[in-house]
A and B are shown apart, each in its own frame.
Chain A
Amino acid sequence: MRKTELWVIVYIFLTIFIAMSGYFVYSVQFSTKEVINDTHNTRKKDLEKQVIRGTIYASDGSVLAQEALNSEGVEVRNYPYKEMFAHVVGYSVMGSSGVENAADVDLLTSNAPVSEKLQKEMAGIRNTGDSIYTSLRPDLQEACYRALGDNKGAIIVMDAKTGFIYAMVSKPDFDPNTVSENWASISEDEENSPLINRATQGLYPPGSTFKIVTLHEYMREHPIDYENYSYDCTGRISVEDSTIECYHGSVHGHEDLINSFADSCNTSFTNIGLSLDIPKLSDTAERLLFNRVLPTDLSYSRSRFSLSSISDTKTVMQSSIGQGKTLITPLHLALITQAIANDGVMMRAQEIVKKTNYQGVLLKEYKPEKYRQVMTASEAGEMKRYMEQVCITGTGKKLNNLPYKVAGKTGSAEFSKVKGESHSWFTGFSNPDDPAIVVTVIAENGGSGSETAVPAAKYVFDAYYGAI
């Protein structure tokens, strides 16, 4: 008599056991990193008992974060640049942030040579964790730090073609060397919120920088004749009891499309916005990643855009010049700018270049990563031309006649009911013919874009091109 039924039972259980072991092997090998990196995992301190946290380097090889002994001989995390890299490099006590967070597991994993590892483990000495090399440049970071001065706000410098981040400053800041000592005061400071990385997490009204999106949509809706657009600016436009005025009551007179953009003419752009197909504008905004996930490992906030066919006229008017309910992070604006500079191809925003063991043996290299073509190359080319005009005759003309060329857009984002109080924006890139770096600046309550943000950007470009 055959025992088929017993074999059936054997195979059913065998299958489940194999599937379960396979799942276990998979989760230990592959899903480990993100699970361990969860901020709720208190076991990182167990790893720290066995591995000396690795070092974080800048692109020029200088140390951004390392383990060191303090004056009392206690091992502490040392950040030689103090406040300057506070947000982007982050901290690793009281939770973690920045690169310290993104590369937490790597820093706590030792890929030292096996023989050395075993020797040290035998002797009960901790092994040294792997090193992380970033694309951050201390010279540019310092320039950004100075350029922002005492303003609250943020500056991002990014490679226009690769998406690698060269500098990222956020103010107010804190000293990562003393985070745990000063934790109560910095974490509860709600007025300044120094722990927030404004470059990636700060949500601001985009103001006139949003005209990049409005202009792009207008060009798409009028692919052949957008150059024929013209408008007579009288300083104000009123529709159904809503009024939009040009900044500080300027009157631009007769404007074609490129000068409307260069002069950042609010009335003209309100006029354009009212003519647009709103659902299409909404699609375009989402294609440029409003309300969407950004291609980056940095922790960021999601930008918001909420215009639909049922929105009232007032909201449409405000939204077309970047006011209303629209909010954007500086990182997002930098990515849109980068895509325009890079023939419409948005890159992943990355700050980690490679991982090595503590002796410098390469373990993993992070290549530039294409995210997506967010607009066609010819559309990007036209946007680029319009943005160049901004820095020749328009609101960004302080960037004209320099040893380098810049294309960009300014913005003055009103954030309160008080007239004239606005955040100062600039986003742009240098050398439009062969784009080099993207610089995005926000200075909170810094007035118009040309007042604060443009000079700050100029300071950073000068530093990049060796003018200072």
Chain B
Amino acid sequence: MAGISKYLIAIFAIFYTFHCFAVFSYGNDRERRVFYVFQNVLMVLTHLLGFYVLYVKTSDQSMLILCFLEELLLFAMIVLFRTLYPTASRLITNNICMLLAISFVILARLSYTRAMKQFVIASFGVAAALLIPFLIKRIDGIRYYYWAAGIAGLVVLLAMLTRGTVTNGSKISLGIGGFSFLPSEFVRLLFIFFIAGMLTDEEHRNKNTGRVDIQQLISSAVIAISYVGILALCKDLGSALMFSVIYMFMLYTATKAPLVLIGGAAGMAGASVLGYRLFAHVRNRVRAFIDPFSDIEGAGYQVAQSLFAIGTGSWFGLGLMGGSPKSIPEVSKDFIFAAIAEEMGGLVALCVIFISLSNFLMFMNISMSISSIYLRLMAVGLAVNYGFQVILTIGGVTKFIPLTGITLPLVSYGGSSVLVTLICFSIIQGLYVLSHEMGDPYDGGDRYDTDDRYDGDYRYDTDDPYETDDPYHDDDRNEEYY
């Protein structure tokens, strides 16, 4: 049984992922609900089977306890979220749980203590996630205090610059009372909140066109550049890139000016060249990207190990406990994807990519269904934050792009990461719930766009997402500013 479990896990993951996309071809809510439950079953099976293998291979009974606790947590998440927020997206909730389930299995394989810690923090995260959509409705006025968020973020980053601890040449963590945490994940949330408030403030907007005025644009750019500058001084260039990209896409959404994207891309290309000239560790990473095997004992070690792991694992993996993922430095954090590919197989790893893509598409879909431009901008910021983080980490691990040293949301080990990601997801869910209650007619069940019916002809097909023509109609109503 343990021998063929890797094939079963791959099959479960593929079925699960298939339904992330196929579910939209079922117009009927009742049909969809069946598929969401089916997804839940697949998720539970993946998790149980993974732990079964771990138990057989390690004969460690504490694995069973951890497995039971985690099942409870996933169950609670699904049932409570469904009960408290019947209008929230079930697909997003399912995806959170599936990614957590895969993460729980691979972390338990890598380090039992880390898996236990991750479980505890994820529990807090799930609790927060259950609370946030409820809070969002009631603290709406907070949007006008965006300056406070912007300054708070800057202060935290300055503290990190002056008092942060250095890891691998970058200052990325801050110790408070014995705990060390990565503030840049939290600061990204503050930043998104700040920029969304800034670019949609009525007092600074043309009453007729709805465009934000130039003074506000310049202020937002100055603050954004300060954030990126401080991060560059901390030598945390991955985060600096994240902030730049988030700002660029939020500004583009607010101004609708293609020039922002072109200018932003050019600016970032220039900054990359500058970073390459200035920082030795950037040069090392680029060298390790071009040919990790030329300096395999040095700069290329991590990427080379990761490629060995992915290559040796091939499509079905070496099976849990069958490989040597621990030979990859930072495997439970930045390189968790390689560990999944090595032991659970390339197919499961590919499913992780597509589940993440499904999340991003859902985030963007939600942003389209929101009529308030402030909330929409928040949603876009969170979507880009999530999507780009996935691209940076998986791209780096697979040598698609140079390594930036960033975690895979919901999957990597790390308290700050899992907590912040769960908060992001629940904010999105909150925005979704809120947009329904803002007066949009709602008839229950998930849709990419609540305002429109599906055209029967369009099918959202996993096999080739390129072919997906616009399955949603554009919303023809004018945006409301509430």
Q: Which residues of A contact B (CB under 8 A)?
A: 1-10, 13-14, 16-21, 23-25, 27-28, 31-33, 35-36, 38, 40-47, 49-50, 118, 120-124
Interchain CB contact under 8 A, A3 and B474 = yes
Interface size on B, residues (CB 8 A): 62
The CA-CA distance from A10 to B460 in the complex, in Å, is 15
Interchain CB contact under 8 A, A9 and B384 = yes
The CA-CA distance from A280 to B40 in the complex, in Å, is 74
* A9-B384, A32-B314 known; A24-B400 Cβ under 8 A: yes
Interchain CB contact under 8 A, A16 and B391 = yes
Query: Could you say which residues of chain B place their CB within 8 Å of the CB of A33?
Result: 311
Interchain CB contact under 8 A, B252 and A5 = yes
Query: Could you say which residues of chain B place their CB within 8 Å of the CB of A43?
Result: 308-309, 312, 318, 323-324, 327, 342
Interchain CB contact under 8 A, A4 and B311 = no
Query: Could you say which residues of chain A place their CB within 8 Å of the CB of B310?
Result: 24, 27-28
Interchain CB contact under 8 A, B367 and A14 = no
10 A-B pairs in the complex with CB atoms less than 8 angstroms apart: A14-B466, A18-B465, A20-B400, A24-B310, A24-B400, A33-B311, A43-B323, A46-B323, A47-B318, A50-B318
> Is residue B387 contacting chain A, with contact meaning CB distance below 8 A?
yes
Stretch at the interface among B26-34, B113-121, B191-199, B356-364: B356-364
B242-286 Cβ-contact flags toward A at 8 Å (1 or 0): 000000010011001010010000000000000000000000000
Interchain CB contact under 8 A, A20 and B4 = no
* A17-B353, A23-B398 known; A10-B361 Cβ under 8 A: yes
* A9-B380, A41-B308 known; A20-B398 Cβ under 8 A: yes
- Partner of B353 from A20, A44, A50 at Cβ < 8 Å: A20
The CA-CA distance from A14 to B314 in the complex, in Å, is 25
The CA-CA distance from A35 to B346 in the complex, in Å, is 15
**10 smallest beta-carbon distances between A and B, as pairs:** A121-B3, A43-B312, A28-B346, A32-B311, A35-B311, A41-B308, A17-B357, A36-B311, A23-B400, A5-B256
Interchain CB contact under 8 A, B353 and A1 = no
Q: Which residues of B contact A (CB under 8 A)?
A: 1-4, 7, 249, 252-253, 256, 258, 261, 293, 296, 304, 307-312, 314-315, 318-319, 322-324, 327, 341-342, 346, 349-350, 353-354, 356-357, 360-361, 364, 367-368, 380, 383-384, 387-388, 391, 394-395, 398-400, 465-466, 470, 474-479
The CA-CA distance from A38 to B294 in the complex, in Å, is 11
Interchain CB contact under 8 A, B256 and A38 = no
- Partner of A122 from B1, B354, B368 at Cβ < 8 Å: B1
The CA-CA distance from A35 to B312 in the complex, in Å, is 9
Query: Could you say which residues of chain A place their CB within 8 Å of the CB of B360?
Result: 13, 17
Interchain CB contact under 8 A, B309 and A27 = no
- Partner of A9 from B249, B324, B394, B466 at Cβ < 8 Å: B249
Query: Could you say which residues of chain B place their CB within 8 Å of the CB of A41?
Result: 308, 311-312
* A40-B304, A122-B4 known; A6-B253 Cβ under 8 A: yes
The CA-CA distance from A47 to B343 in the complex, in Å, is 11
Given A36-B312, A44-B312, A121-B4, 4 new contacts (CB under 8 A): A6-B364, A8-B252, A9-B384, A20-B394
Chain B residue nearest in CB terms to A6:
B368
The CA-CA distance from A18 to B476 in the complex, in Å, is 30
- Partner of B327 from A7, A19, A42, A49 at Cβ < 8 Å: A42
User: Counting chain B CB atoms within 10 Å of each CB, which of A10, A14, A40 scores highest?
Assistant: A10
Query: Could you say which residues of chain B place their CB within 8 Å of the CB of A20?
Result: 353, 391, 394-395, 398, 400
- Partner of B324 from A14, A42, A50 at Cβ < 8 Å: A42
Query: Could you say which residues of chain A place their CB within 8 Å of the CB of B400?
Result: 19-20, 23-24
The CA-CA distance from A25 to B311 in the complex, in Å, is 11
- Partner of B391 from A5, A8, A17, A25 at Cβ < 8 Å: A17
Chain B residue nearest in CB terms to A13:
B387
> What's the nearest-Cβ distance from chain A to residue B258, in Å?
8
The CA-CA distance from A41 to B388 in the complex, in Å, is 31
Query: Could you say which residues of chain A place their CB within 8 Å of the CB of B319?
Result: 50
The CA-CA distance from A4 to B256 in the complex, in Å, is 8
> What's the nearest-Cβ distance from chain A to residue B249, in Å?
6
Chain A residue nearest in CB terms to B369:
A3
> What's the nearest-Cβ distance from chain A to residue B355, in Å?
11
> What's the nearest-Cβ distance from chain A to residue B414, in Å?
22
The CA-CA distance from A3 to B365 in the complex, in Å, is 11
The CA-CA distance from A32 to B315 in the complex, in Å, is 11
Chain B residue nearest in CB terms to A23:
B400
> What's the nearest-Cβ distance from chain A to residue B155, in Å?
30
The CA-CA distance from A46 to B324 in the complex, in Å, is 7
The CA-CA distance from A167 to B349 in the complex, in Å, is 45
Query: Could you say which residues of chain A place their CB within 8 Å of the CB of B394?
Result: 20, 24
Chain B residue nearest in CB terms to A124:
B3
> What's the nearest-Cβ distance from chain B to residue A37, in Å?
9
Chain B residue nearest in CB terms to A120:
B3
The CA-CA distance from A3 to B367 in the complex, in Å, is 10
Query: Could you say which residues of chain A place their CB within 8 Å of the CB of B368?
Result: 3, 6
